[in-house]
Amino acid sequence: MSMIALLLAATLLGGMVFFSFGFAPVLFAQLPMDKVRPLLRGTFPYYYLAVIALSGLAALVTIPVSVLAAALLGAICLGTIYARQDLMGRINAATDRGDSGAFKRLHGLSVVIQLLQIGLAGWAVILLG
């Protein structure tokens, strides 16, 4: 069970790091802004679902191995539910109405959440390794 927990947590961490520091920056570097925004906007709901499913499953599998690691992974799951169900909608609404101030503030919050979650996933991997 501990190897499965480690693999799930490592997969979560790798996916989050790749999306944040690989996929998204490459889109910005390779495509014009008018193409990047709708592509990312359409990608985030699926990304968030993948993070919710993977972190939730990892949390459940990890409970018998490390309660702390399971709690960290559960926090990622809950934070991503918030980001997908509430924050993403408010970011999109700010963009749609041209409210750049609200967009910057809300997007900044989403970035902070994402970076914290990457840190939590890394901590969980360390605990499970």
- Write the secondary structure of the chain as one string of H (helix), E (strand) and C (coil): CHHHHHHHHHHHHHHHHHHHHHHHHHHHHHCCHHHHHHHHHHHHHHHHHHHHHHHHHHHHHHCCCCHHHHHHHHHHHHHHHHHHHHHHHHHHHHHHCCCHHHHHHHHHHHHHHHHHHHHHHHHHHHHHC
Range of the domain at 39: 2-128
pTM for the predicted model, two decimal places? 0.94
What confidence score (pLDDT) does residue 1 get? 80
Mean pLDDT, consecutive 10-residue stretches, the chain (129 aa), reads 95 97 93 92 96 98 98 98 98 96 98 98 97
Q: How many domains does the chain have?
A: 1
What confidence score (pLDDT) does residue 119 get? 98
